[in-house]
Amino acid sequence: MNNFGGSIILKIKSNLTSFINNLPQLLKKIHLLDRKPKDMSGGQRQRVAVGRAIVRKPDVFLFDEPLSNLDAKLRVSMRVRLVQLHQQLKKEGQTATMIYVTHDQVEAMTMGDRICVLKEGLIMQVDKPLNLYNYPVNKFVAGFIGSPAMNLIETELSLKNGKVYFTIGENEFELPKTKSDAILKKISIDKKKKAWFGLRPEDVKSAKTHPGSNTYINGKISLLEQMGNETFCYFLANGHDYTARLESSNIKNLQVDDEYKFHIKLENCHIFDYETEENISL
């Protein structure tokens, strides 16, 4: 399999013949067939370029951010159509490979069979999208994959009676046993050790929905982004900025500057070495 920086790698097979006849309809370019490039917008030219690449029947497609010039609605439509193209070609016989470069989180997660994440020319991790999301090997991948980004907070680890604890401000929490065991296999904790604590926004919940929990932090709301059925809640706690992804129905009366209690789901957290930034909790 080919790997390319920051790319989505799609394995597809097709002879393309049956597809070419329907190409104008697929790209929604029927009304532009008689126009010259100078009479088209940047986004229209972008889609024509995709069609031009397809009809040449290459063994390898190289897509370098092909949807970047399109408006939001058309970008979604074309993303779906490219995935359908992948599925359609997969049913045919001739081998072709797609290497798709993108900085768009949604494109990467929804379109890729495998994703290669690069940092300054170095490969950080190559894996399936959900594995990258759930099991990032280092702090860079954890912060790069996911929108909104993972909460990453400086912390200190300590060892008490064979159990690993970490601190957030004045709060101290015990890590779940699976996390503690993984950490102790990789590092020794003779005294307090600096580290990074990582938690995805969807694992920061309203404490009202977890009344029996003792793993919570108090924060002051700084911004609310209403997304419809969910709300991105930005808050400040112990001098650190956090993002929570909450169900809108649970926080109907929440306002900016309100003090609020948040439950943190520690079984899904990640701990990264402070110096190497390696995920030591996997």
pLDDT at position 150 is 97
pLDDT the model gives residue 93: 62
Give the amino acid at 165: Y
Neighbours of 227 (CB within 10 A): 11
CB 157 within 8 A of CB 188: no
DSSP-assigned letter for residue 40 = S
Mean pLDDT of 243-248: 94
Considering only CA atoms, which of 202, 145, 193 is closest in space to residue 167? 193
What is the arithmetic mean of pLDDT over 205-231?
90
Per-residue pLDDT tens over the stretch 122-148: 999 999 999 999 999 999 999 999 989
Cα–Cα dist 175/199, whole Å: 13
Distance separating alpha carbons of residues 106 and 215, to the nearest angstrom: 31
Distance CA 108, CA 118 (A): 13
Give the Cα separation of 6 and 102 in Å (integer): 7
Residues 23-80 have pLDDT tens digits of 555 555 555 666 777 777 766 777 777 777 777 777 788 888 888 878 888 888 888 8
Average pLDDT estimate for 195-224: 92
Domain boundaries defined on the chain: 7-134, 151-273
Q: Do domains 7-134 and 151-273 have the same CATH topology?
A: no
Collapse the DSSP code of 259 into the 3-class scheme (helix H, G, I; strand E, B; otherwise coil) and give the result. strand
Residues 72-123 have pLDDT tens digits of: 888 888 888 788 777 777 777 655 678 999 988 889 999 988 999 999 999 9
Q: Which residues pair with 114 in a beta bridge?
A: 9
Query: What confidence tens digit (pLDDT) does each residue in 188-208 have?
Result: 998 899 999 999 999 999 988
**Distance between CA 105 and CA 103 in Å, rounded?**
6
Q: What's the confidence (pLDDT) of residue 40?
A: 73
Q: What is the DSSP letter of 12?
A: E
Q: What's the average model confidence in pLDDT over 178-188? A: 95
Distance CA 98, CA 145 (A): 21
pLDDT computed for residue 41 by the predictor: 72
Q: 101: helix, coil or strand?
A: strand
Looking at CATH, the fold of the domain delimited by 151-273 is given as: OB fold (Dihydrolipoamide Acetyltransferase, E2P) (2.40.50)
Task: Give the count of alpha carbons within 13 A of 268, CB side only.
Answer: 15
CATH of 7-134, one of 3.30.2420.10, 3.40.50.300, 3.40.50.1950, 2.40.160.60: 3.40.50.300
Q: What is the pLDDT of residue 16?
A: 43
Span between the terminal Cα atoms of the chain, in Å: 26
List all residues 6 or more positions away from 134 whose beta carbon is below 8 Å from its beta carbon. none
Q: Which helix (H) or strand (E) holds 157?
A: strand 151-160
Rounded to the nearest 10 degrees, the angle between the axes of helix 72-90 and helix 42-55 is 10
Is 234 in contact with 223 (CB distance < 8 Å)? yes
Strand order in the sheet with 114-119: 60-64, 95-101, 7-13, 114-119, 122-127
Strand partners, 270: 198
Mean pLDDT of the chain: 84
How many Å apart are CA 66 and CA 112, to the nearest integer? 14
